[in-house]
Chain A
Amino acid sequence: MPLPVRHLLLAALGLAAVAGLLFVTGDLTALRVAAVGYTMLAVAGLQLLVGGSGQVSLGHGAFMMIGAYTMALLVLHQPSLPLAANLGVIVAVSVVAGVAVGAATARLHGPYLAGATLILAVGLPGLAHRYHQLLGGSNGLNIRTAGAPPFLDGLVTTSEWRALVVWTTVVLGLAALATISAGRLGRRMRAVRDDETAAAMAGVPVGATKVAAFVIASAAGGLAGGLQAYVLGTVTPGSFTLVLSLTLLAALVLGGIGSLWGALWASIAIVYLDVWATDLARAADLGRDVENNLPVVFFGVVLILVLRFWPLGVHGALRDLGARLRVAGSGTSS
């Protein structure tokens, strides 16, 4: 079976699993399931950039912001466009942003690239304040998008429909990322990551490969941001802070770099550690200051502990466990 077909089949399976999950759980979890979906797409794009091409970006939230604001502006100013067209435009805009950032930073390496992307993450929300006529300042933009189509009335709720739309886009995006990563471009990226000079001598166009990685990561991040705006119906500069960018990268390493499964664990961690920490603070009645800050502290502590005891992240730990079980199983049978 050719690889793209296999990835599409897996994508369909994944979508079916999510639909089943939505059917079993209630309306309330639908929003969280959708949040896991678009976060996973963003993290998977970052995984291709960091794990694939070895460029550490601390500014992935900036691409999500570009996608989210594009979605909001399209809904506000071109309300007749269908959602699929909006998503297409978002990908195009993100690709342009990715080319610009990737080309500007292609000569930067290691900590210098990390520093430059960090500045992008802190600086970009400033544009929303600068152009507050168009972008709404710190209040951001509010949008209304269509819910479930009429023939599905009573069958799925609005948030369940949104979660399904999000996940359909997400699994298609993930299939594309997996196909790219397994193909020639993915191999070139890994060559550049392992040794730039050696890759150049073997005929790999180093600069173009690095820019390509940025473009793909940016498209995934922008699409994720657009989906977030679609689900939440609001876009503010306050939701694209430095903490978001840092959390995306940190979660990627926490989940386990080098695999899309890692991106899944990462997005579950981002969404659910936050939920659990808030619930915990409420249940223990710890006061407002603690409640507001507990999620980020909780995430940081889990991150440090995971790195301390499982340097390869959750996915690495699970793989180790699987290997050990298999060894134990074959040991007893022989």
Chain B
Amino acid sequence: MNYFVTLTLNGLASGAAYAALALSLVIIYQATRLVNFAQPALALLSVYTAYTVTQLTGSYWLGFAAALTAGLLVGAFVERVIVRPIARTSQLNAIIVTLGLLLVVQGGVGMVWGNEQHGLRYAFSYVGRFAPSDVFALVSVGVAALLLFALYRFTPLGLRMRAAAFHPEAARLNGVRVGLMLTAGWGIASLIGALAGMLAGPPFLSPNVFDVVFVFGITAAVVGGLDNPFGAVIGGLLIGLGKSYVSGFLGPELATLAALVIVVAVLSVRPDGILSRPTARKV
């Protein structure tokens, strides 16, 4: 029983990072109908930036701020300069360009910082069951989700972003700068992706540290429904719990395959995620 409680609390804490990553995927999917497979690479770049800043200044929080800033800027830059011209041509090309970005950024990080592991600090102490760092993970993702909700619901920028995603033509006729809104969406998404990276990265950082995290992040997004930010958060916590139980009771090597089983099982029953509504299809 004690073991079960420990697994549950660990699962919730790691689920926070998956929820954040899922959230960043959902924001971009809502705006552009595109799954950003480069998201883990953008997060990787942000976290390595944090690592360098922390090394130079000795302050964890300066590094944390640097990671979020880097995420915002890199996300916006990548959308405007690389993704947009190619995403116009076809849906498949849009997916492939994010894969290309993933390869370039992951390899580039390895070139600059090397393929070996670097130690990365936690924000707070991680000792004990439900340590302060676990609380920080849950609270920071909760706050990020609430801020995001407020942004979309109550600010003019959020309204414009929703309009641009919902009906680009009509939004443009009403004076919304649709392109700028897409860039803003990618920036915000990558900022949240950077937060996910800062939570999931420690204790060790290496160029492919986020491959497995990304698997659970995309599982969370898909299970929750790619269209639904709430689904992403709930999906993230559920996947965190599921991963924790499977690793604890069956063995950690099977956790990713368990994620596959969950995805297939959920989607076979609800093809657009647990929180989706049925849609009509037209021929």
Contact = CB atoms under 8 A, between A and B. Distances in A.
Chains A and B are bound partners:
yes
Interface of A: 50, 56, 58, 104-105, 107-109, 111-112, 114-116, 118-120, 122-124, 126-127, 129-130, 195, 197-198, 201, 242-243, 246-247, 249-250, 253-254, 257, 289-290, 292-297, 299-301, 303-304, 307-308, 311
A311 B86 contact: yes
Contacts of A300: 100-104, 107
A161 B111 CA distance: 38
Interface in B266-283: 267-268, 271-272, 281-283
Given A116-B222, A197-B283, A294-B107, A126 B256 contact: yes
Nearest to A108: B267
Nearest to A298: B107
A115 B85 contact: no
26 contacts: A107-B267, A108-B267, A111-B29, A111-B35, A119-B263, A123-B256, A126-B254, A126-B256, A201-B283, A246-B99, A250-B96, A250-B103, A253-B96, A257-B92, A293-B107, A293-B110, A293-B207, A296-B106, A296-B107, A303-B103, A304-B100, A307-B86, A307-B89, A307-B100, A311-B86, A311-B89
Contacts of B251: 130
Contact of B253 (A130, A198, A250, A304): A130
Nearest to B219: A119
B21 to A, nearest CB: 12
A297 B219 contact: no
Contact of A130 (B82, B99, B110, B254): B254
Contacts of A109: 271
A250 B99 contact: yes
Contacts of B281: 197
A293 B104 CA distance: 9
Interface in B228-283: 251, 253-257, 259-260, 263-264, 267-268, 271-272, 281-283
Given A50-B92, A118-B215, A296-B106, 8 more contacts: A109-B271, A123-B215, A201-B283, A246-B37, A246-B99, A289-B110, A293-B207, A300-B107
A297 B109 CA distance: 10
Interface of B: 29, 35, 37, 82, 85-86, 89-90, 92-93, 95-97, 99-104, 106-108, 110-115, 207, 211-212, 215, 218-219, 221-222, 226, 251, 253-257, 259-260, 263-264, 267-268, 271-272, 281-283
A172 to B, nearest CB: 29
Given A116-B263, A127-B253, A249 B99 contact: yes
A289 B263 contact: no
Contacts of A299: 103
B54 to A, nearest CB: 21
B96 A112 contact: no
Contact of A119 (B96, B112, B115, B259): B259
B283 A297 contact: no
Residue among A50, A108, A124, A127 with the highest chain B CB neighbour number at 10 A: A108
A124 to B, nearest CB: 7
A300 B100 CA distance: 5
Nearest to B90: A311
B243 to A, nearest CB: 12
A175 B260 CA distance: 34
A114 B256 CA distance: 15
A105 B264 contact: yes
Contact of A253 (B82, B92, B221, B226): B92
8 closest Cβ pairs, A-B complex: A123-B256, A300-B104, A300-B103, A311-B89, A297-B107, A293-B110, A303-B100, A296-B107
B259 to A, nearest CB: 5
B35 A122 contact: no
Contact of A116 (B82, B96, B212, B267): B267
Contact of B215 (A119, A198, A304): A119
A164 to B, nearest CB: 32
A246 B35 contact: no
Contacts of A107: 267-268, 271
B115 A292 contact: yes
Contacts of A105: 264
B215 A104 contact: no
A304 B86 contact: yes
Given A119-B259, A201-B283, A253-B93, A289 B99 contact: no
B146 to A, nearest CB: 26
B256 A119 contact: yes
A128 to B, nearest CB: 9
Contact of A308 (B86, B221, B264): B86
Contacts of B272: 112
B108 A293 contact: yes
B211 A122 contact: yes
A126 B253 contact: yes
Contacts of A127: 253, 257
Contacts of B85: 308
Given A124-B257, A126-B257, A307-B93, A290 B283 contact: no
Nearest to B104: A300
Contacts of A295: 107
Nearest to B256: A123
A297 B92 contact: no
Given A119-B256, A119-B263, A130-B254, A297 B226 contact: no
Nearest to A302: B100
B250 to A, nearest CB: 10
Contacts of A58: 37
